[in-house]
Amino acid sequence: MRLSQLRQLMADLQYQALLLTEPINIRYLAGFSGSAASLLITPQQQFLITDYRYTEQAAEQCPAMQIICRDRSRQSLGQCLAPLLRGIDTLHLEYQHLPVSQFLQLQQELPCQLAPGLNLTEQLRACKDHTELASVRQAVAIAEQALAWLLPQLKPGMTEAAAAALLEQQLFALGAEALAFPTILLSGARSALPHGKPGGGQLQHGDWLLIDFGAEVGGYRSDISRTYVIGAATPLQRDFYQTVLCAQQAALAIIGPGVTGDAVNAAAAAVLAASPYADFAGEGIGHGTGLVLHEYPLMRKGCDAVLQPGMVVTVEPGLYKPGFGGVRIEDNILITERGYELLTTSPKQLTVLKGFSLAALHQADSSQA
């Protein structure tokens, strides 16, 4: 089915042959999960080129493919491809996934012209089928269960790194096959680092706590962000948070099939731009997610990709004020025929973590003394 869809796109663009070198795209089309392969697609045939380390795996995972075992010490990729390309005038390549050195070698050794290929496989990957969606839903469910478990475990004085480790352990305990990406768990002013790493900073009363994390199931990823205040929230914190929430609600109000990524981004950006915190707005509203954490479409200013049913995207506006802190609220969204389905269900109204009362903080200080 996927190969048929790709061939239709190739026919529409008059591609004679397409060489894929990105492992994720090869996995999506061929089912091969090894780390060393190329996939040649022509209108009638498909060749998976690998080496002795993966031939048995390839034969098992890719019964519809013609498997070619290349002796890497005696035969270059170009030399292997040349006899397969007889009668082909132009070979399209994944330029964005091909090292310059390999391109130059192919240019010298192949009997045809080389041309850049559009991101055809990425476009196909954007719309998930029922099997893919089942993995995404499970990845979201595991992440949300882990987050709900984590919050009561947090204690005054616990470090960011220790809290992140607890969350990751729980993700695996609940069935995650891998982390979707390294967990971002930041407190206080460090929450203004959009992709900061958890460190030795201790969770303290009155601080922000920003958590951005996800699980991987069957190769598919969830990507969720929630922001809390520890112990008690100031009026400024509440207003800062509410501004981000309103921006997300504005984006969700228009998201759906037929809408461009640019339009969704503009809806949220307008709210942030009209606020007192316009100078601290993050760039872009979200991205597709699936086999790769950030995949097509990347929803930012100028994104002309049109949302389609089956796409799974994130909606994640944020404000990041140095010295004060940051807020990001991120949900996973499934685009449907009539609008969208919110895959994430964790509460989004500002939550104050009451386990971090001043009394609890004093008690922790006394126990450490």
- What are the tens digits of pLDDT across the range 279-309? 999 999 999 999 999 999 999 999 999 999 9
In this prediction, residue 365 has a pLDDT band, given cuts at 50, 70 and 90, of very low
Do 79 and 197 fall into the same domain?
Answer: no
Please state, in angstroms and rounded to a whole number, the distance separating the CA atoms of residues 181 and 263: 28
**326-334 mean pLDDT:** 98
pLDDT at 12 over 90: yes
Do 230 and 139 fall into the same domain?
Answer: yes
Q: Could you tell me the CA-to-CA distances from 368 to 153, 163, 201, 225, 365 in Å, in that order? A: 18, 18, 16, 32, 5
pLDDT at position 362: 41
Do 336 and 222 fall into the same domain?
Answer: yes
In this prediction, residue 360 has a pLDDT band, given cuts at 50, 70 and 90, of very low
Q: CATH code at 342?
A: 3.90.230.10
pLDDT at position 359: 43
**103-120 mean pLDDT:** 95
Structure tokens at 318: 């944020």
Do 118 and 9 fall into the same domain?
Answer: yes
pLDDT at 368 over 80: no
* Span 23-57, pLDDT tens digits: 999 999 999 999 899 999 999 999 999 999 999 99
Cβ count near 356 (within 10 Å): 26
pLDDT at position 78: 96
- H runs (alpha helix) in 177-326: 235-254, 261-273
Last residue of a domain, one of 125, 141, 174: 125
Q: In what order do the strands lie in the sheet with 17-20?
A: 66-69, 46-50, 38-41, 17-20, 90-93, 113-116
Q: Is the model more confident about 360 or about 199? A: 199
Phi, psi of 13 (to 5 degrees): -95, 0
**338-342 mean pLDDT:** 97
Region at 184 (left for phi over 0; alpha for psi -120 to 50; beta for the rest) = beta
pLDDT at position 358: 43
In this prediction, residue 357 has a pLDDT band, given cuts at 50, 70 and 90, of very low
> Smallest Cα–Cα separation from 278: which of 267, 286, 269, 288?
269
What is the number of structural domains in the chain? 2
Do 106 and 156 fall into the same domain?
Answer: no
pLDDT at position 2: 94
Do 204 and 349 fall into the same domain?
Answer: yes
Structure tokens at 118: 């559009």
In this prediction, residue 1 has a pLDDT band, given cuts at 50, 70 and 90, of confident
pLDDT at 83 over 70: yes
Tokens 């004020």 locate to 321
pLDDT at position 354: 84
Do 48 and 142 fall into the same domain?
Answer: no
pLDDT at position 356: 62
Cβ proximity of 312 and 343 under 8 Å? yes
What is the residue range of 257's domain?
127-368
Last residue of a domain, one of 110, 125, 140: 125
Residues 6+ apart with CB under 8 A from 109: 76, 78, 79, 81, 82
Q: Which residues pair with 227 in a beta bridge?
A: 210
pLDDT at 312 over 80: yes
Do 197 and 72 fall into the same domain?
Answer: no
Last residue of a domain, one of 93, 125, 157: 125
* Span 207-262, pLDDT tens digits: 999 999 999 999 999 999 999 999 999 999 999 999 999 999 999 999 999 999 99
In this prediction, residue 166 has a pLDDT band, given cuts at 50, 70 and 90, of very high
Please state, in angstroms and rounded to a whole number, the distance separating the CA atoms of residues 181 and 50: 28
- Quote the percentage of the chain above a pLDDT of 70: 96
Q: Which residues pair with 306 in a beta bridge?
A: 260
In this prediction, residue 59 has a pLDDT band, given cuts at 50, 70 and 90, of very high
